[in-house]
Amino acid sequence: MMFKKTIPLALASVVALSASSSAVAFIPQTSSSIISNRPIALRSTIEGDTDAILPAFETKDEYTAYLQKAGKLPDGFAVGTAKGTFVSVEAPALGPLPIKATVIHLTEGPAESWAAVFTSNRFPGCPVKVGKARLAEGKSIQALVINNKVSNVCPGGDGVAAAESVCAAVAEKLNLAGGASSVIPSSTGVIGWRLPAKELAEDVVPRAIEALQSDSAYSAAEAIMTTDRYPKLRSKTLSNGVRIVGVAKGAGMIEPNMATMLGYLMTDAKIKRDSLQAMLTEACNKSFNSISIDGDESTSDTVVAIASGLKDLYSEDEFKEALFEVCEGLSADLVRNGEGTGHVIRVNISNFPGSEYDARRMGRHLVNSPLVKCAISGNDPNTGRIAGAIGSFMGKFFPTESVDKMSLTLGGRTIFNNGQFVLEGDAVEKELSGHMADAQLGEHDDFPKHQKFVEIGVDFGGEGSNVIVLGSDLTKEYVNVNADYRS
């Protein structure tokens, strides 16, 4: 895929990962997948890297220390963050509101090798428009600037000019030879509000640049959050020392073609730009475009991968595998950290009579069903809702395909086979409810206590596409968060 082509991105709190295994509850772990939920010791695959499957954590401090240890920046990168305030023109009665800025700087000069995937929403944010233009023009990049709180989407006034003015402030403060066009902007937050460009350009961004450091990406993972309850960071070191570190934010409006999700992948590898774009596009399809939290597609989704080029790359295959692991890990973290999430749902779809794309669509349809979400939230094994959601999708989009051989499992136990439910009394009811309860998370948890899932297997029989999709339940806390989002 040519690097100048703009790639639409689909993101959501549903994660769909390709898989070749049959529809069973527990899937064998592979080196490039996060789909196993077997217990794992508190360790890193390589000292200073995150595990493909994060361990269980007892405290927020333990989780924070783990990410800080794993957040060492690749060579040639520095990050800085700062806080400020602004008063919204659209809602001044809310008074001064907090805003944060994050700057990622390539310290050794502009990077020709960078790639990006953006939302396919037809009302994209102004920073997305700027980023797409930079990508299409093939410009070298030396910095990224990210703000939270205001997404700069369809605002009154000139939102593109506002984004460009913040880029210009970064370029001036860092004395970038490429000027504002060597800076990629990103914004996340309230849709429809004007970007407080003056406050960012004259106050918050300069202080973020003054705070630049080359030690850890953890501060960036924290600063880009909005309704996220905790930061998300993943890292991987290749055999020759090349490093990939990724950070992401997103807790709601997550559904493919990306959601309110931002992701930044930094590497010191020397890699061709078109190769990096092709890898990023494939990685996003297998991770960020395979998740859903609430089925709402964001206007601001952006994933950027940027390479400082300071270390030779011995194996593109090894790099690709590591990139996939980082993206899959971050996408799963997004779902687990979804607004009000009490359970993460993992749907293993086997032998779907269609493409992987359509199999992911079916998986997202299932995890986006309000009835299925609510049943799982209450640890209620109302299995008819699962079959009903699948039947609804197949009736609408694949009416001529047979579902006679379809079987369903919940928690590894067969619940539907040969067109009939297989439910055998109170013992099974308690087992299925217990499986859900065991995977439950606290709706207000400020760190991920475990990596368990509510496991749903859907096997259509015969031969076809195999994917994994992740989603979340629906809780009262999700409603509370989104009823009071702006303030």
Active site residues: 260
* DSSP per position, 74-117: PTTEEEEEEEEEEE-SS-GGG-EEEEEEEEEEETTS-BS-EEEE
Q: Rounded to an integer, what distance in angstroms lies between the CA atom of residue 147 and that of residue 169?
A: 13
Q: Rounded to an integer, what distance in angstroms lies between the CA atom of residue 394 and that of residue 399?
A: 6
Determine the residue type at 71. G
Element (DSSP H or E) covering residue 469? strand 465-472
Q: Rounded to an integer, what distance in angstroms lies between the CA atom of residue 33 and that of residue 322?
A: 10
Q: Which two tokens stand for residue 209?
A: 């640049």
Quickly count: other Cβ atoms within 10 Å of residue 479's Cβ.
12
57 contacts 447 by C-beta, under 8 angstroms? yes
CA distances from 38 to 35, 274, 453, 459 (A): 9, 37, 11, 22
Q: Which two tokens stand for residue 41?
A: 């010791």
Provide the 8-state DSSP code for 347: E
Element (DSSP H or E) covering residue 322? helix 316-336
- At residue 416, φ and ψ (nearest 5 deg) are -155, 135
Q: Rounded to an integer, what distance in angstroms lies between the CA atom of residue 408 and that of residue 3?
A: 41
Determine the residue type at 108. E
Determine the residue type at 99. I
* CA 117 to chain centroid: 12
* 3-class secondary structure, 433: helix
CA dihedral sign of residues 392, 394, 397, 401: negative
Q: Rounded to an integer, what distance in angstroms lies between the CA atom of residue 133 and that of residue 143?
A: 16
Provide the 8-state DSSP code for 252: S
